[in-house]
Amino acid sequence: MSGGVDSSVVAARLVAEGYDVVGVTLHLWDYPDDGQVKGRCCAPEDVHDARRVADDLGIPHFAFDRRELFEREVVSPFVESYLSGETPSPCVRCNRGVKVQELLTLAARLGASRVATGHYARVQVEAGRSRLYRARDLTKDQSYFLHMLSAEALARLMFPLGNDDKQTVRAEAHALGLRGAGKGESQELCFVPRGRYDALVSARAAGRLTKGPVVDDAGRVLAEHDGIHRFTVGQRRGVTTGGGRRLYVVRVDPSGVVELGERGALMADGARLGDVSLADDVRFEALRHQRVALECEAVVRYRGAPVRARLERRGEAYELWFQAPIQAVVPGQVAVLYRGDRVLGGGTIRESLRAPLGAAVAEVEADAMSTALGSEAPIEAGAREELSL
């Protein structure tokens, strides 16, 4: 329970349905007491809000301090990822290594058989195994963040909001008189004050930041930057040249080189994946050269459009190839694999790939399906360094 509208409605529904409900809140982060940070989750004020909702519902409530776990599993890897030239997906790490796992562990300690959360996702049982599906409301769907959950974990989870839209949930909260009915939604990462990713990394890695060159697609040095953590692939704001060329960040190298290029240089045919997790019923088809493949749809950023793709595996290596090139495949982000609304799994993007001319077409069966390429500004992950060259 966060004290917000979603978890409050979930708790109220379960009480009304006759479940023996215990409210649990994880204290994960502390915010500066400057009055500027509102609408976040997992802070001391959220513990207070959740406890008041639990009191109103007549259920016990427990709060657990997991700040050290959150620092170790989410914040520190977030900083290291930026220092490596990546743009991380901390909410995936939080759900995997902190929220879901910790709540399941605490449920066992408290004698609870199931864990219910306010996530917008669905679980369906097929052939005796629990499988993850997108929420009915695709604008709120959070299956992207839960793609790594095993069938065993899903069997112990409940997502009561999976068939609802946000407007309906908020109306229900108001009708029930729940305290969280008017609480706003967070639009930023919970541990990044005012969305300043670069400021957080600078403060936590001050002695490790190094200057480096900003180069164009011909290798010419255009400027000097004071840290690669200020850049992400696809960034375009303020990146121009005196000649009027519209340039984008196309590569952020851990060595310190930031490369700019034109929009076409952002296109990728595929991605090399790491930390891949797949549902236990996923089956690959045999290909030539000791490769196997899985036909799927891929989403390469949260709320991104699904594109037709093929996951190929050779030994322990995974490559994801798109039916048609897409733009801004960003290292550090997560690619989640679907078949319809069913979640098959996913992995972290390590690098984008370009296929030899014609290879992607030859390897992926063509059809008439259109492929969404995303918005003109593919990624704007926080405040970034402005370059006028």
User: Residues 41, 42, 94, 296: which is the catalytic one?
Assistant: 94
**In sequence order, which ranges of the chain are alpha helices (DSSP H)?**
5-16, 44-57, 67-70, 76-83, 90-94, 100-110, 151-155, 166-176, 197-204, 359-363
- The number of C-alpha atoms within 13 Å of 304 and in the hemisphere containing its C-beta is 29
Tokens 């045919």 sit on residue: 269
Closest to 64 in 3D by CA, of 37, 114, 104: 104
For the question of residue 296 being annotated catalytic, the response is no
What's the Rg (C-alpha) of the chain? 22
For the question of residue 190 being annotated catalytic, the response is yes
Tokens 């926080």 sit on residue: 382
Tokens 């890897």 sit on residue: 77
SS3 call for 288: coil
Please state the separation of Cα 204 from the chain's center in Å: 22
The token pair at 281 is 């019923």
Rounded to whole angstroms, the Cα distance separating 224 from 215 reads 9
CB 328 within 8 A of CB 374: yes
CA distances to 58, 101, 112, 116 from 20, rounded to whole Å, are: 11, 21, 9, 12
User: Residues 41, 42, 91, 190: which is the catalytic one?
Assistant: 190
CB 74 within 8 A of CB 29: no
Residues tagged active-site: 94, 190
